[in-house]
Amino acid sequence: MLLLIDAGNTRVKWACIPIDAPLQFPATWEAIGSVSHQEMTQLVQAFSHHHIVRCKISNVAGAELQQSVDKLLLAQYPELKIEKFSAADTAVGVQNLYRDPAKLGSDRFASAIAAHHCFPDHDLVVATCGTATTIDAMTAQGDFLGGMILPGLQLMASALAKNTAQLPQIALHADSLDVFATQTDQAIASGCLHAQIGAMQCAVQRLEHQRGKPVKLIVSGGAAPYLVPQIRKIQQTQKVQQLHWQEVENLVLTGLWIAAKSS
């Protein structure tokens, strides 16, 4: 069994899939889950009944977390081959045009690989919405053009309303939120949600201008369900220019799987 791990700034996500499983999208995971950093001791318990022979991990949460993950995995699987995934000049059909390719976050590179392989004939804007929101541009030829990083929904909300349950407020209002809110909690939710979507629209419009053709927006990440209702509303009401978009789950894990299959 192949174990894939996406260690982010808040949670560690994982998936198991048979080593010889053919590439297909979406992936049919044998098992999938996540733990918070505070729940790290429970990580291996979730898949300990699987015979793991290989592991590929993307980690953007630092060396200390990596050491914790390695220790937990090797205690359960002493012979396990743990492969650290990082950005490179080129990998699996994706050309990294970052000024210093090695400094691109491994999660962003994995997401780019997944998006390009899932939608190979499209110019793409790939928005991954988690603790931070990353919005990156990809050409149909596989060139990663770069992107932007902004605070995620919860970080935005906490900057405006400390010591409140920010994300539950956003979840409460996400389905029926009005841009011009008439209550403060709704106004915070509206500002955070539409700032995220506005950045995505900006990226789409800029890439469409550069490429001279329509661009597809891919939305993924733990905060995506809070954004999707508003994106749907924009799609339904926007008269000037249609927004072509799709929500795709587990982009980083999918990118790690593609990278593992190629090596």
Contact 118, 126 (CB under 8 A): no
Residue 36 forms part of a structural domain: yes
Mean pLDDT estimate for the chain: 89
Q: Could you list the residue range(s) of the whole structural domain that residue 215 is in? A: 90-252
Residue 193 forms part of a structural domain: yes
pLDDT at 239 over 60: no
pLDDT at 173 over 90: no
Task: State whether 19 and 134 are in the same domain.
Answer: no
* pLDDT tens-digit series, residues 188-203: 788 888 899 999 999 9
- CA atoms 116, 119, 122, 127: torsion sign: negative
35: tokens are: 């733990």
Contact 9, 60 (CB under 8 A): yes
Detail the residues annotated as belonging to a binding site: 6-13, 98, 105-108, 131, 184
What is the enclosing helix (H) or strand (E) of 254?
Answer: helix 251-261
Percent of the chain with pLDDT over 70: 92
Task: State whether 73 and 112 are in the same domain.
Answer: no
Task: State whether 24 and 75 are in the same domain.
Answer: yes
Residue 214 forms part of a structural domain: yes
* pLDDT tens-digit series, residues 81-137: 999 999 999 999 999 999 999 999 999 999 999 999 999 999 999 999 998 999 999
The interaxial angle of helices 153-160 and 184-211, nearest 10 deg, is: 140
Q: Residue 161 has what pLDDT?
A: 64
Task: State whether 63 and 130 are in the same domain.
Answer: no
**Longest Cα separation, the chain:** 59
* pLDDT tens-digit series, residues 44-93: 988 989 999 999 999 999 999 999 999 999 999 999 999 999 999 999 99
Give the other-Cβ count within 10 Å of 51's Cβ. 8
* pLDDT tens-digit series, residues 176-189: 567 787 777 777 78
Task: State whether 100 and 128 are in the same domain.
Answer: yes
Average pLDDT of the residues in 145-152: 96
pLDDT at 242 over 80: no
Q: How far lies 152's CA from each of 56, 213, 252, in Å?
A: 26, 29, 17
Average pLDDT of the residues in 234-253: 80
Residue 259 forms part of a structural domain: no
Return the residue matching tokens 């297909």.
Answer: 24
pTM beyond cutoff 0.95: no
Dist CA 221 CA 251 (whole Å): 8
**Of the residues 20, 89, 107, 143, which is catalytic?**
107
Judging by beta carbons within 10 Å of its beta carbon (0-12, 13-18, 19+), is residue 63 exposed, middle or buried? Answer: exposed
Detail the residues annotated as belonging to a binding site for substrate: 98, 105-108, 184
19: tokens are: 């080593």
Pick from 42, 66, 84: which residue ends a domain?
84
> Which residue type, as a one-letter code, is found at position 41?
T
247: tokens are: 């929500």
Q: How many domains does the chain have?
A: 2
Q: Residue 146 has what pLDDT?
A: 97
Detail the residues annotated as belonging to a binding site for ATP: 6-13, 131
Cite the DSSP H helix spans in 77-129. 106-118
Task: State whether 76 and 131 are in the same domain.
Answer: no
pLDDT: is 237 or 138 the higher one? 138
Ordered DSSP codes for 127-179: EEESSEEEEEEE-TT-EEEEEEEEE-HHHHHHHHSTTS-HHHHHHHHTTT--S
Residue 70 known to be catalytic: no
Assign residue 20 the CATH number of its domain: 3.30.420.40
Kindly indicate the confidence band of residue 240, based on its pLDDT and cuts at 50, 70 and 90. very low
* pLDDT tens-digit series, residues 18-50: 999 999 998 999 999 999 999 988 999 889 899
Q: Residue 187 has what pLDDT?
A: 79
pLDDT: is 61 or 173 the higher one? 61
Strand partners, 82: 55
Task: State whether 184 and 219 are in the same domain.
Answer: yes
> In 3D, which of 37, 35, 57 has the Cα closest to residue 106?
57
Contact 253, 13 (CB under 8 A): yes
Q: How far lies 66's CA from each of 56, 60, 134, in Å?
A: 12, 9, 22
Q: Residue 38 half-sphere exposure, CB side, CA atoms within 13 Å?
A: 0
